């Protein structure tokens, strides 16, 4: 893809931009934005660059401070690789290519692929979304490599890796990052297997970023993930920060820890530890013996939205709440619209939380997988609700999930499959109705 970049705007300007990123400071931002504007093919991207330029004019703003952190805290090799792979390959040039290929295939081509190299894990956390898989299966290196290679042909340059605990396959992940130098490899990990040798390898390859799971402060993290895990996560973050790696935190907010995760104490600690981003997930009760009482209440979900907006206005960290930010992504992104999931057995699922599939990647090419009937059922219904604060077919619109599973004749992919989709939907309807009322009121207040 770097060749494509060079062909479009000329090698010199690209090289100059990269030099600014690697050796420069935040003072070079205006020059970099000029280059980004020239490279942008998609009109939306051009507009985005202009919005970023406006925000960064205020040197006291948290966004300017955030950019300063990226320039100063990240290792030059990682800055170089991430700038090219994320901004140029995955976004400015990848998106137009995805659109072109989507036209040809007649279905969406996503921006990112989430893939699990393994479902094995060294921890046993309460309420893990992978808890009801068999916890024994792996995807072999050849399959992982093939999926990424076929993705690149479609313009996909962002691979998210989850599990299980993906760092059980450390060597394969480094090999994949090396074999696909144009790709961003974003690993979700519990952090407990990160050690110095591995971190050195990560710096060497340059195109790996981490999201480290945490449940809040020490007591909450250890309660859900096991005793001593918080301390190990802190040590992993220290190692990554000292070596200049790019990483953030990933937190699931529940009825027990929503206020703690939104607190200044927690967010400031994450910034101090070196996180430049944070991914927030609301607890989804999937699996057999789930605890519906652990779901954040509708009031807590609204509270989190308010606080994420506050954090984004005040703190030098980029935080996203995947459900509450439905308005920014025009609703649910799953089912191949912007992303989808391949589990460690190879099942092609619409989302990490939706354990149904109609095909397995071991039997089909990536292009064929994207055309599966479950993804088509998703795409023809998205967005699932005209109120984008109610984006999800699982927890906000469970009747849509029932319709899609039936229409596509998708089969459950997890070990515990004695619960029908209707039973699952019935269980969640009360929550969906209650959140629906709150979300509709919030939207009508804004209008």
**Which among 283, 284, 344, 272 is positioned nearest to 315, based on CA atoms?**
272
- Name every residue whose Cβ is closer than 8 Å to that of residue 292 and which is 6 or more positions away in sequence: 285, 427, 431
- Name every residue whose Cβ is closer than 8 Å to that of residue 251 and which is 6 or more positions away in sequence: 213, 214, 215, 216, 257, 261, 278, 279, 280, 281
The answer to whether residue 332 forms part of the interface with ligand SF4 (CB under 6 A) is: yes
Least distance (Å) between residue 144 CB and ligand SF4: 22
The answer to whether residue 353 forms part of the interface with ligand SF4 (CB under 6 A) is: yes
For the chain, the helix, strand and coil percentages under 3-state DSSP, each to the nearest 5: 55, 10, 35
Q: How far is CA 282 from CA 302, 380, 396, in A?
A: 11, 25, 12
How many residues sit close enough to ligand SF4 to count as binding (CB under 6 A)? 11
Peptide bond into 338 cis (omega under 30): no
- Of residues 74 and 295, the one with the C-beta less far from ligand SF4: 295
Q: State which of residues 84, 161, 176, 394 lies at the interface with ligand SF4 (CB under 6 A).
A: 394
Site stretch for ligand SF4 (CB under 6 A), options 52-60, 120-128, 174-182, 351-359: 351-359
The answer to whether residue 392 forms part of the interface with ligand SF4 (CB under 6 A) is: yes
**CA 282 – CA 72 distance, rounded (Å):** 32
The answer to whether residue 354 forms part of the interface with ligand SF4 (CB under 6 A) is: yes
- Of residues 26 and 321, the one with the C-beta less far from ligand SF4: 321
Least distance (Å) between residue 213 CB and ligand SF4: 16
The answer to whether residue 110 forms part of the interface with ligand SF4 (CB under 6 A) is: no
Residues in the chain: 447
Least distance (Å) between residue 338 CB and ligand SF4: 8
- Of residues 160 and 394, the one with the C-beta less far from ligand SF4: 394
The answer to whether residue 1 forms part of the interface with ligand SF4 (CB under 6 A) is: no
- Name every residue whose Cβ is closer than 8 Å to that of residue 98 and which is 6 or more positions away in sequence: 109, 110, 111, 154, 155, 156
**CA 237 – CA 243 distance, rounded (Å):** 10
Adjacent-strand bridge partners of 159 = 113, 185
Decide the pairing of beta strands 339-342 and 112-115.
parallel
The answer to whether residue 351 forms part of the interface with ligand SF4 (CB under 6 A) is: yes
The answer to whether residue 391 forms part of the interface with ligand SF4 (CB under 6 A) is: yes
The answer to whether residue 393 forms part of the interface with ligand SF4 (CB under 6 A) is: yes
DSSP symbols for 40-96: --SHHHHHHHHHHHHHHT-TTSHHHHHHHHHHHHS-HHHHHHHIIIIIIIIIIIHHH
Q: State which of residues 322, 367, 416, 422 lies at the interface with ligand SF4 (CB under 6 A).
A: 322
- Of residues 216 and 393, the one with the C-beta less far from ligand SF4: 393
The answer to whether residue 173 forms part of the interface with ligand SF4 (CB under 6 A) is: no
The answer to whether residue 334 forms part of the interface with ligand SF4 (CB under 6 A) is: yes
3-class SS of residue 222? helix
The answer to whether residue 305 forms part of the interface with ligand SF4 (CB under 6 A) is: no
- Of residues 274 and 391, the one with the C-beta less far from ligand SF4: 391
**CA 254 – CA 292 distance, rounded (Å):** 10
- Of residues 230 and 378, the one with the C-beta less far from ligand SF4: 378
The answer to whether residue 428 forms part of the interface with ligand SF4 (CB under 6 A) is: no
- Of residues 71 and 283, the one with the C-beta less far from ligand SF4: 283
The answer to whether residue 398 forms part of the interface with ligand SF4 (CB under 6 A) is: no
Least distance (Å) between residue 392 CB and ligand SF4: 3
- Name every residue whose Cβ is closer than 8 Å to that of residue 100 and which is 6 or more positions away in sequence: 155
- Of residues 244 and 393, the one with the C-beta less far from ligand SF4: 393
Site stretch for ligand SF4 (CB under 6 A), options 55-63, 295-303, 392-400, 430-438: 392-400
Q: State which of residues 78, 208, 333, 374 lies at the interface with ligand SF4 (CB under 6 A).
A: 333
Q: Are 189 and 213 in contact (CB under 8 A)?
A: yes
**CA 433 – CA 291 distance, rounded (Å):** 18
The answer to whether residue 432 forms part of the interface with ligand SF4 (CB under 6 A) is: no
Q: Are 294 and 285 in contact (CB under 8 A)?
A: yes
Which residues contact ligand SF4 (rule: CB under 6 A)? Answer: 322, 332-334, 351, 353-354, 391-394
């Amino acid at each position: 893809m770097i060749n494509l970049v060079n062909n479009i705007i000329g090698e010199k300007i690209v090289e100059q931009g990269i030099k600014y990123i690697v050796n420069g400071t935040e003072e070079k931002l205006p020059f970099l934005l000029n280059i980004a504007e020239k490279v942008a093919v998609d009109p939306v991207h051009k507009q985005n660059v202009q919005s970023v330029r406006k925000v960064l004019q205020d040197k006291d703003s948290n966004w300017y401070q955030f950019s300063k952190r990226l320039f100063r805290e990240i290792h030059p090799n990682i800055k170089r690789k991430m700038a090219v792979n994320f901004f140029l390959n995955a976004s400015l040039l990848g998106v137009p290519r995805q659109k072109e290929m989507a036209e040809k295939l007649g279905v969406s081509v996503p921006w990112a692929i989430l893939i699990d190299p393994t479902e094995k894990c060294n921890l046993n956390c309460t309420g893990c979304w992978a808890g009801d898989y068999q916890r024994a299966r792996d995807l072999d290196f050849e399959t992982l490599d093939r999926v990424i290679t076929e993705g690149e042909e479609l313009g996909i340059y962002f691979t998210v890796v989850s599990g299980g605990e993906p760092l059980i396959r450390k060597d394969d992940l480094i090999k994949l990052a090396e074999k696909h130098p144009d790709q961003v490899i974003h690993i979700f990990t519990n952090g407990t297997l990160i050690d110095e040798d591995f971190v050195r390898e990560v710096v060497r390859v340059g195109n790996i970023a981490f999201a480290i799971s945490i449940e809040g402060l020490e007591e909450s993290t250890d309660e859900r993930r096991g005793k001593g895990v918080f301390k190990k996560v802190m040590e992993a973050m220290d190692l990554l920060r000292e070596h200049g790696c790019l990483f953030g935190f990933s937190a699931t907010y529940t009825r027990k820890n929503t206020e703690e995760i939104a607190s200044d104490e927690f967010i400031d600690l994450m910034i101090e530890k070196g996180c430049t981003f944070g991914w927030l997930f609301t607890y989804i009760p999937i699996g057999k013996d789930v605890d519906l009482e652990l779901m954040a209440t509708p009031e807590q979900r609204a509270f989190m939205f308010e606080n994420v907006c506050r954090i984004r206005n005040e703190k030098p960290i980029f935080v996203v709440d995947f459900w509450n930010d439905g308005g920014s992504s025009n609703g649910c992104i799953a089912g191949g619209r912007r992303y989808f999931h391949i589990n460690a057995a190879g099942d092609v699922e619409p989302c990490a939380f939706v354990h149904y599939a109609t095909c397995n990647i071991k039997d089909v090419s990536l292009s064929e997988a994207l055309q599966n009937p479950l993804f088509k059922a998703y795409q023809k219904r998205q967005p699932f609700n005209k109120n984008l604060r109610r984006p999800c077919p699982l927890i906000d619109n469970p009747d849509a999930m029932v319709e899609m599973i039936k229409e596509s004749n998708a089969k459950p992919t997890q070990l515990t499959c004695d619960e029908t989709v209707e039973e699952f939907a019935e269980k969640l309807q009360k929550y969906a109705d209650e959140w629906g009322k709150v979300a509709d009121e919030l939207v009508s207040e804004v209008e």
